[in-house]
């Protein structure tokens, strides 16, 4: 097993634990406001804990909804709310699926180009041979991860 595949598999195991988070939606007023309200904390009280003006809390909550708040600010606010800020990526399917899908696109493109040349030379492959070559090319791309894998499609 190559090193890239091992690393990908280990990361996949870690990411799998995060899969349930895909369905967690942000509260309509944002996480900061939701947690603050659940704790019965006013914006003024949070501002005091953060050492900022009340208007700054309003701006932070607005920025969170707009996606403009920094990770640093979210960590600081989370700490003030006795929370841990979590930021990460949760793959929609799996890394392996995403990788194989890209490899299939690249392999199909390469195979079409080669098939065109072979057809011109009257050396066409059968449908079964085409599928076998495509499958082998996908496996090779996944195993070797060429530098241009994500440049082609």
Residue pLDDT, tens place only, 50-76? 999 999 999 999 999 999 999 999 999
**Whether the predicted model's global pTM rises above the 0.75 cut:** yes
Residue pLDDT, tens place only, 22-38? 999 999 999 999 999 99
How far apart (Å, rounded) are the C-alpha atoms in residues 70 and 73?
A: 5
Q: CATH class for domain 19-80?
A: mainly alpha
Domain ranges of the chain: 19-80, 95-144
**Helices (H), ranges, the chain:** 3-16, 31-38, 43-50, 54-66, 71-80, 95-120, 127-144
Q: How high is the pLDDT of residue 114?
A: 77
pLDDT tier at 128 (50, 70, 90 boundaries)? confident
């Amino acid at each position: 097993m190559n090193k890239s595949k091992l690393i990908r598999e280990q990361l996949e195991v870690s990411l799998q634990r995060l899969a349930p988070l895909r369905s967690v939606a942000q509260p309509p007023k944002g996480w900061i406001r939701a947690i603050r309200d659940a704790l019965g904390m006013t914006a003024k009280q949070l501002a005091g804990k953060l050492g900022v003006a009340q208007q700054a809390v309003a701006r932070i909550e607005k920025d969170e909804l707009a996606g403009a708040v920094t990770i640093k600010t979210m960590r600081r606010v989370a700490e003030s709310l006795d929370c841990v800020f979590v930021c990460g990526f949760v793959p929609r399917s799996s890394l392996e699926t995403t990788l194989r899908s890209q490899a299939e696109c690249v392999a199909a493109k390469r195979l079409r180009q080669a098939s065109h040349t072979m057809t011109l030379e009257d050396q066409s492959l059968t449908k079964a041979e085409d599928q076998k070559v495509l499958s082998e090319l996908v496996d090779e791309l996944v195993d070797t991860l060429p530098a241009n894998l994500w440049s082609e499609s």
